[in-house]
Amino acid sequence: MFYPPKRILMGPGPSDVDPLVLKAMAAPLIGHLDPAFLNLMDNIQQLLRKLFETNNRLTLPISATGSAGMEAAFVNLIEPGDSVTVCVNGVFGERMSDIVVRSGGTLSRVETSWGKGPDVDAIRESLLLNHPKILAVVHAETSTGVLTHLSKIRELLNEFPETLLLVDCVTSLGGHSVGVDQYQVDFAYGGTQKCLSCPPGLAPITVSDRALEAIHSRKRKVQSWYLDLSMVENYWGDNRTYHHTAPISMNYALYESLRIIHEEGLEQRWNRHHKNHLAFVAGIEAMGLEMLVKSRDRLWSLNTVKIPDGISDGIVRAKLLERFGIEIGGGLGPLKDKIWRVGLMGTSSQKKNVLLFLNALEEILTEEGLVLEKNAGITAAERIYV
């Protein structure tokens, strides 16, 4: 039997999982068409609608990871030749772009420097030039810690009512408000392993009636059989038509994680993520370190810290893991060796984790030759909690 080491998961995902969620996964299996499991599916859909803040009928978990949620969004909506505009300001905008091309879409990229939010004026220019079927944005860019303000995107799209809005909220769902109905998002997808604090393996999605109509009116079949929502919806809908064997235990886990979320309350949960983020930032800046992203565009769930000159990314992360059991992430692409990515998601978003990390980072940076004021980070963070 494999016995994993005890870790405190403060990287870009997965996050720590509540013991009740792990316990739920140990429950006995039943069939994927068992009446009890079908009832559980209904309950999961209801809780997901509350989480996405939507009344969309087609709201369900794809039986695969968040990346499959991304792929499902594009392959269902795109037919060859369709124009798609993608906002690219990190790794996941790049992945969106790749899937658009693989799906036969005509891609237009609106690029912004990594660490900055999308440029609304540049998006408008692309929309005026290309009149795309879809505008795709990453609400929470995990590679940079940038939050895209959906209110600004919706305000812009009111000028282009024919364009569908597709949103990646893998790292924001459950930690930030995503406001699917408020911002008239047509297709949103998430992942279970971030702010939901559930093991990786399912991708919650929600699809507007307008987007569903586009899927139903396709001229050719969806290129992916497994991710074809015109069939998947019949399994999760009233017909209960067999499509695939759902991962039973993962759905037990998702239901329990959603139950915990709604027991806490969405606004209380968002506020918890926000406060822990503010305490973390206060501590980091009191230590003389810098955040990558300007305050107005920062994610609460994923924090990006600039690595000080002369400090080794690998050495610091290795010491955090070996000495304190803390996992954080390094930078990707052009940010490799330049930033640390520190997650405060779901169960991992706790005061004790913020203070432990700041203490551990101070100890390690001091060993590595950085001159720091003793306990400055913890003191500043404590002020936020007081």
What is 266-385's CATH number? 3.90.1150.10
- In whole angstroms, give the CA distance from residue 13 to residue 31: 30
- In whole angstroms, give the CA distance from residue 327 to residue 330: 10
Kindly report, as residue ranges, where domains of CATH 3.40.640.10 are found in the chain: 19-263
Kindly report, as residue ranges, where domains of CATH 3.90.1150.10 are found in the chain: 266-385
Class of domain 19-263: alpha beta
Query: Binning pLDDT at 50, 70 and 90, where does residue 115 land?
Result: very high
Burial class (CB in 10 A: 0-12, 13-18, 19+), 196: buried
Q: 359-382, pLDDT tens digit by residue?
A: 999 999 999 999 999 999 999 999
pLDDT at 334: 97
Beta strands 164-168 and 134-138 are parallel
The percent of residues above 90 in pLDDT, for the chain, comes to: 99
Phi (first) and psi of residue 146, to 5 degrees: -95, 135
Q: 129-167, pLDDT tens digit by residue?
A: 999 999 999 999 999 999 999 999 999 999 999 999 999
The percent of residues above 70 in pLDDT, for the chain, comes to: 100
pLDDT at 25: 98
Say if residues 330 and 293 touch (Cβ distance below 8 Å): no
**Adjacent-strand bridge partners of 341:** 304, 329
Q: 208-263, pLDDT tens digit by residue?
A: 999 999 999 999 999 999 999 999 999 999 889 999 999 999 999 999 999 999 99
DSSP state of 344: -
pLDDT at 130: 97
**Torsion region of 342: left, alpha or beta (phi above 0 gives left; psi -120 to 50 gives alpha):** beta
Q: 319-350, pLDDT tens digit by residue?
A: 999 999 999 999 999 999 999 999 999 999 99
Whether residue 12 has a cis bond before it, omega within 30° of 0:
no
pTM for this one?
0.97
